[in-house]
Amino acid sequence: MSEPILQISNLSVDLPRNGDRSHAVEKVSFSVNAGEIVCVVGESGSGKSVTAHSVMGLLPKGQLTPTGGEILLEGENVLNASPGRLRALRGTRMSMIFQEPMTALNPVLTCGEQIDEVLQIHTDLALAVRKEKVLAIMEAVHLPDPARIYGAYPHQLSGGQRQRVMIAQALVLDPVLLIADEPTTALDVTTQAQILRLISEMQERRGTGVLFITHDFGVVADIADRVVVMEKGQVVEMGTTEAVLKRPQHSYTRMLIDAVPTLDPPSREENAAPIMLETAKLSKIYGTGGFFRKTGEVRAASEVDLKVRGGETLGIVGESGSGKSTVARCIARLVDPTSGSIRVGDLDVATMSERELRPHRRRCQIVFQDPYRSLNPRRSVGASIIEGPVNFGTPHKEAYAMARELMSLVGLSPDALDRYPHQFSGGQRQRICIARALAMRPEILIADEAVSALDVSVQTQVLELLEDVRRKFNLALLFITHDLRVAAQICDRIMVMKSGLVVEQGRTAELFAAPQHPYTKALFEAAPGRTFEFARTPSM
Amino acid sequence: MTARTSIAPPAEIVGAPVASRPTVWRKLRKNPSVLLGATIVLIMLFIGLIAPVIAPTDPTAINPAARNLLPLAESSARLEDGTRATIVHLMGTDSLGRDVYTRVLYGARVSILVGITVALVSVAIGTIIGTAAGYFRWLDSLIMRIMDGLMAIPAILLAIALVSLSSAGITTVIIAITVPEVPRIVRLVRSIVLSVREEPYVEAAITVGTPVLPLLIRHVLPNTIAPLIVQGTFVCASAILVEAILSFLGIGIPPETPTWGNIMAEGRQLFRLFPHNILFPGIFLAVTVLAVNILGDGLRDTLDPKMEKRA
């Protein structure tokens, strides 16, 4: 093979002095060949994004500076390039697509104008030629009706279409290198599958080298030719996809791969405990009524029937906008359901006033997705945990003693109760949130995407914790997720939702073995890395 | 998935001690705008406090023999104990022979008092109304329409109307200036409450059964403190200015009370011949308002996280 188009050798980037380590990335070397997809995998803080940003020359000035090594793009060291030269290289020789297509596109320009801008800056083509080129690239990334989308604003498109526009913008000048920084993380699985297919199609057809940053081994298995595994700023393993995923050498790689949940649900015992939570025809309609007029309404959830027994885990699976969170929030009575009933024990909590709800507040607790926003940053962890029991009249001292017990139960030191949330990592915070929920001695625990924001290794631990407390306290666990792998591991039964409707439900093993509804099938098809056999350390 | 039997994670049991972030106080002390603004405001406050000690005469003492004296002119006056004393009029005298320097010193009292009181009262009222509007959806449109109505009337006109409804006096002036300031605070607080109430930690507090009042005080309102301090200083500056305007127009505090606006109003007729009557209170007014605004800017730079990112 000829010269690699991107050759990174011994790249080091310093962190600001008060950081937790001295280098963001340290002596990183790897290369990307033409027509090849190289995946850089690692958990948050591994330096994978910093590496990508230094290639583009996009590191925040004054905070992160490359201190050693070189980045050769077709033989030219971009670290020494002048700002003007870098600007010329970006777009023409290398380009980048980002995680969040909504914020990466300018909301006040039409999609066509944004792609056209690249041509305007880097070429002298006439307007008509440019427009032709823009429409051609839109066609190439399979945007439906390019003429219409040319004049459409980003908010008028779906997430997947926006990401296609981003890709079109990145590829319009046929760069030799495309850097994709977690381009599918914010997308639903079915959309993700389409975008991944598009990226590999573009790479094959145009011979572009792709540097693909991701944390998802399923995605790696689907598209990568070669894999670079990074940990704490260093490359720990590198090789072909086959080699790394099937015969991982480094312990960190093995740990990461082991942490990826499989799509084979483990066998679970039959549960005949009494029903703890039951909804009947639960509906929530959001009306966007104003002061002067009533406008359209959105059926976020319609006629949802579900049952959860004590000690049982019911998973609600669906993509964004499917209404799964709405159902959870109705049950937790954070929103008022429009109609239907929610029976908890012998009470119907669907229509209760806040005053009558007090007993329900004891019984039903919720753990949220974002560990960084679900604890009040101004209050110590202890104060957050004892807040609930104290509300219900537990003496302060007793509640505090209980909080100490709960802290060790969730695997944290009881002495950390005086600390503040910013002193904990995401996984630790999620443990604290679980402790806060358990402090109420609930019967129902709702986990609303509770592990979605966590790194895979931490995800496994938190899932195990949830399993453990479910067993210990005989909790009815309502587990909301978009991730089929996670659902397969933790749920006894699964309910699939789409556009506010339940399309299918059943026992996890049966559902995974033989999905009935076409949407469920599509969802399973789209799961990244579905057919790949990962190397796994045998279970202990 | 490997089955681990224990719940405890392999490592990292205690939250890592993080290097403590530079405290707000330390940041404030480093900010030149805060230092400069606060120093001048404190000097003005100090001047107002010790006015009776450093002022050469009584601010209302009329001396017909010493009318319209230029700055640094001298006059002699009979003191209460019968002796005569010579007074140097640093800033001259007005058309009634009152010492402008003395009156300007006393004027600082009124200005600072009005500024601080208006800021505190409007922030207090605005926070209560704004929180109610932001948290209780059904109250929101009602309250905000009333506030929109109030904001549609020019502040000074509204103040004039309120003053004309009751007798002139410092309390009336404070109320008249406070009322038009309240809607701005309400809008600010409401917007913060609206966004914070969607935070997961607030929802978590709801699910653990925290009643509304403690919920607002513990979890929601602390987020409003920093923006309110900033907005409060700007309200204070604008209140000092509006008070001076009302006094100057003769519809504020009664003319015998020394306020900067009153001194300027008094000197207005002979302003071409004796500009010092307007000049000195004008300088004090301008410097004070400028200082409060600089202080506010500095506070915003240090307290507002959005400004920090821009830097």
Residue A483 sits in a domain whose CATH number is: 3.40.50.300
Q: Is A496 in the same domain as A437?
A: yes
Among B7, B15, B141, beta carbon nearest to A411:
B7
Query: How much is the pLDDT for A292?
Result: 55
The C-alpha of A257 sits at a distance from chain B's nearest C-alpha, in angstroms, of 9
Q: Are residues A404 and A441 in the same domain?
A: yes
Res B306 pLDDT > 80: no
What band does B303 get if pLDDT is binned at 50, 70 and 90?
Answer: confident
d(CA B209, CA A359) in angstroms, rounded, equals 9
Nearest to A423 among B16, B200, B204 (CB): B16
Determine the distance from the C-alpha atom of residue A518 to the mean position of all C-alpha atoms in its chain, rounded to a whole number.
24
| A216 within some domain | yes
What Cα–Cα distance (Å) separates residue A347 from each residue in A284, A341, A351, A363? 19, 10, 10, 11
- Does residue A281 share a domain with residue A345? yes
List C-alpha distances in Å: B203 to A445, B20, B131, B220.
Answer: 15, 28, 16, 11
Residue B145 is predicted with a pLDDT of 92
| A332 inside domain | yes
Residues of the domain holding A451: 275-526
Are residues A112 and A223 located together in one domain of the fold? no
Nearest Cα residue to A403 out of A436, A376, A434:
A436
The three-class DSSP label of residue A36 is: coil
Q: Which residue has the tokens 């002390």?
A: B29
Q: Which of A174, A208, A230 is the last residue of a domain?
A: A174
> According to the model, what pLDDT value does residue A479 have?
93
Read off the tokens for A345: 């024990």
Beta strand residue intervals within chain B, DSSP E: 73-78, 84-89
Which ipTM value was assigned to this complex? 0.80
Find the CB nearest B204 among A291, A368, A468. A368
Residue B273: C-alpha distances to residues A299, B95, B101, B278, B310 (Å): 77, 11, 18, 11, 50
Assess if residue A87 is contained within a domain: yes
pLDDT of residue A193: 86
Residues A253 and A369 in one domain: no
Assign B11 a pLDDT band (cuts: 50, 70, 90): very low
Q: Is B19 on the interface with A (CB under 8 A)?
A: yes
User: Reduced to 3 states, what is the DSSP secondary structure of residue B273?
Assistant: coil
pLDDT tens per residue across span B175-230: 888 988 999 999 999 999 999 988 899 999 999 988 999 999 999 998 898 889 88
pLDDT band at B304 (very low <50, low <70, confident <90, very high): low
Of A261, A411, A539, Cβ closest to residue B3: A539
Confidence of residue B287 (pLDDT cuts 50, 70, 90): very high
Give yes or no: residues A328 and A443 share one domain: yes
**How much is the pLDDT for B266?**
84
Same domain, A299 and A421: yes
Q: Is the pLDDT of residue B17 over 80?
A: no
Domain annotation covers residue A270: no
Q: Is the pLDDT of residue B13 over 50?
A: no
Nearest CA among A247, A229, A181 for reference residue A43: A229
Q: Is A203 part of a structural domain of the chain?
A: yes
- Domain tally for chain A? 3
> Of A157, A174, A191, at which residue does a domain stop?
A174
Beta-carbon-side half-sphere exposure of residue B19 (alpha carbons within 13 Å): 6
Per the CB < 8 A criterion, the answer to whether B196 and B220 are in contact is yes
Range picked from A294-303, B91-100, B118-127 for highest mean pLDDT: B118-127
Closest CA to B115 of B303, B281, B288, B264: B288
Alpha-carbon gap: B16 to the closest alpha carbon of chain A (Å): 6
Low-confidence ranges of chain A (pLDDT < 50): 1, 539-540
Give the per-residue pLDDT at B204: 92
Give a yes or no: residue A498 inside a domain: yes
Contact state of B2 with A334 under an 8 Å Cβ cutoff: no
Whether the pLDDT of residue B59 is over 90: the answer is no
Residue A473 domain-assigned? yes
Residues with Cβ within 8 Å of B206's Cβ and at least 6 positions away in sequence, in order, are A334, A361, B215
What type of residue sits at position B295?
L
Within an 8 Å CB–CB cutoff, is residue A251 touching chain B? no
Residues near B286 by beta carbon (within 8 Å), at least 6 away in sequence: none
Shortest distance, CA B62 to any CA of chain A (angstroms) = 58
Which of A203, A168, A163, A201 lies closest to A182, judged by CA?
A: A163
Average pLDDT over residues B259-277: 85
Dihedral (CA of A539, B1, B2, B5) sign: negative
Whether residues A292 and A404 share a domain: the answer is yes
Q: Which two tokens stand for residue A49?
A: 């994004």
Whether residues A169 and A234 fall in one domain? no
In a domain, A539, yes or no: no
Is a pLDDT exceeding 60 seen at residue B7?
Answer: no
| Interatomic CA distance for residues A20 and A502, integer angstroms | 46
Check residue A535 and give its pLDDT: 65
- Helix, strand, coil share of chain B (percent; to 5): 65, 5, 30
Assess contact for B48 and A450: CB atoms under 8 A.
no
Whether B6 has a pLDDT exceeding 50, the answer reads no
Eight-state DSSP code of residue A75: T
Residues A87 and A1 reside in one and the same domain: yes
What confidence score (pLDDT) does residue A293 get?
56
- Residue B97: per-residue pLDDT: 77
Going by pLDDT thresholds of 50, 70 and 90, the confidence category of residue B163 is: confident
Both A57 and A144 in one domain: the answer is no
d(CA A475, CA A459): 20
Name the burial class of residue A326, with classes exposed (0-12), middle (13-18) and buried (19+) by CB atoms within 10 angstroms of its CB: buried
How many CB atoms sit inside 10 A of residue A232's CB? 17
For residue A453, CA distances in Å to A215, B142, B197 come to 11, 39, 21
Amino acid of residue B180:
P
Helix (H) or strand (E) holding B296: helix B276-303
pLDDT value at residue A297: 75
The predicted pLDDT at position A301 comes to 86
Phi, psi angles (nearest 5°) of residue A82: -70, 160
Q: Does B4 touch chain A (CB under 8 A)?
A: yes
CB pair distance less than 8 Å for A392 and B18: no
Same domain for A366 and A461, yes or no, is yes
pLDDT higher than 80, residue B18: no
Last residue of a domain, one of A237, A260, A283: A260
Which domains are present in chain B? 30-56+107-262+289-310 (1.10.3720.10)
Distance from CA of A108 to the nearest CA of B (A): 22
